[in-house]
């Protein structure tokens, strides 16, 4: 195995190499090479490489597919996302304030599965805006080594400038800024950016179609369940997603209409209407109040331009195996 980390983040790969050495892996079994695109292109075209596993941008994934095709390499690609979080209309005004805002702050928004499009019933928008305004002052931004801090920095200034370009374009296209939208006033160094939320968004806006990779939430509204599903699917991506409801069966039936590789149904508790059978005759009875973001033991991967193949569990191992048939006569 050859591991090539991103040139901005090589140190964790070196630590993994140390762990392998301490565990007794023979020399040459696990290898780390560092560098930029030229190193990646060499690995993707080298005849000694049979399989490529990649996590990163869709643009780089397309390039990997292009240059590896000459040697017919297999590939497992976990690429970009613009995941949707649908709030169904059985959620009340008392529950809606701030929903989804915390999730877009995971790793300061630098996570592929971030649900950065919140799709909200139109009648809940005013209550949601008030909830976000009340939540934002409670979110601390600063040095992530401090346990009191919620949101740390972006990886470098280049990424912060990219986030700023999305915020600027959203405002130019008519989105309304509710909170954030600038660098924190109290931090004069480091690549920090305030948690940001926009409402009055349209799904054709750049901020709703492209992966920001920063702490920016776009809120869209709908009038019918079918419209919510249509908005969620109106994307080149299909990596992850979420449905929030008080009825597990309804949430399941919405979730299975979303073209995404991983999706979570969160039944709001207490008081969630699970019925005698959580499936309520409309779906499997698996849904319980959520205790985590996604099933860590299940397959992770995307539809559409979010990638090929799956990571995690037996599915992830199978990506790295070949079937061989031997016939004895």
Average pLDDT, the chain: 91
How many whole angstroms separate alpha carbon 125 and alpha carbon 158? 33
How many whole angstroms separate alpha carbon 169 and alpha carbon 49? 42
Residue 97 — very low, low, confident or very high, per pLDDT cuts 50/70/90? Answer: confident
pLDDT of residue 298: 81
In this predicted structure, which of 63-67, 260-264, 270-274 has the lowest mean pLDDT? 270-274
pTM (2 d.p.) = 0.89
Long-range residue pairs from 65-68, CB within 8 A, at least 24 positions apart, any chain: 67/41, 68/44
How many whole angstroms separate alpha carbon 240 and alpha carbon 263? 5
Structural contact between residues 77 and 30, judged by C-beta atoms closer than 8 angstroms: no
Structural contact between residues 181 and 167, judged by C-beta atoms closer than 8 angstroms: yes
Residue 313 — very low, low, confident or very high, per pLDDT cuts 50/70/90? Answer: confident
pLDDT, tens only, 54-76: 999 999 999 999 999 999 999 99
Q: Is 120 exposed, middle or buried (0-12, 13-18, 19+ CB in 10 A)?
A: buried
Beta strands in 115-240 (DSSP E): 117-121, 176-179, 196-199, 216-222, 237-238
pLDDT, tens only, 298-312: 889 999 999 999 998
37-45 and 58-68 helices cross at what angle (nearest 10)?
A: 40
Residue 279 — very low, low, confident or very high, per pLDDT cuts 50/70/90? Answer: very low
Where in the sequence numbering do the catalytic residues fall?
78
Neighbours of 47 (CB within 10 A): 8
pLDDT, tens only, 209-245: 999 999 999 999 999 999 999 999 999 999 999 999 9
> CA 139 from chain center: how many Å?
21
Residue 272 has pLDDT above 90, yes or no: no
The structure tokens 């698996």 sit at 286
Cis geometry, peptide bond prior to residue 270 (ω within 30 degrees of 0)? yes
């Amino acid at each position: 195995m050859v591991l090539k980390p991103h040139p901005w983040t090589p140190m964790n790969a070196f630590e993994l190499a140390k762990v392998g050495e301490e565990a007794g892996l023979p020399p040459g079994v696990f290898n780390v090479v560092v560098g930029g695109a030229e190193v990646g292109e060499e690995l993707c075209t080298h005849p000694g490489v049979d399989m490529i596993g990649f996590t990163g941008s869709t643009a780089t994934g397309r390039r990997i597919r292009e240059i590896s095709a000459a040697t017919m390499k297999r590939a497992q690609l976990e690429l970009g996302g613009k995941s949707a979080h649908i709030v169904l209309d059985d959620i009340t005004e008392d529950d809606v304030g701030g929903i989804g805002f915390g999730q877009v702050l995971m790793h300061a928004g630098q996570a592929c599965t971030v649900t950065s499009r919140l799709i909200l019933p139109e009648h809940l928008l005013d209550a949601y805006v008030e909830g976000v305004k009340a939540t934002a002052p409670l979110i601390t931004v600063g040095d992530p080594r401090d346990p009191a801090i919620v949101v740390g920095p972006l990886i470098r200034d280049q990424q912060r400038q990219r986030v700023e370009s999305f915020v600027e374009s959203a405002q130019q296209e008519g989105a309304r800024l509710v909170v954030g939208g600038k660098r924190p006033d109290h931090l004069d160094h480091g690549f920090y950016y305030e948690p940001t939320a926009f409402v009055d968004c349209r799904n054709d806006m750049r901020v709703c179609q492209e992966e920001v990779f920063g702490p920016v939430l776009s809120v869209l509204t709908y009038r019918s369940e079918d419209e919510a599903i249509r908005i969620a699917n109106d994307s080149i991506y299909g990596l992850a997603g979420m449905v929030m409801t008080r009825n597990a069966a309804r949430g399941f039936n919405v979730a299975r209409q979303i073209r995404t590789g991983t999706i979570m149904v969160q039944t709001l508790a207490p008081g969630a209407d699970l019925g005698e059978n959580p499936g309520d005759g409309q779906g499997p009875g698996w849904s319980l109040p959520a205790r985590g973001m996604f099933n860590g033991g299940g397959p992770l991967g995307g539809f559409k331009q979010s990638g090929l193949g799956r990571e995690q569990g037996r599915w992830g191992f199978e990506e790295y195996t070949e079937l061989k048939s031997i016939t004895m006569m």
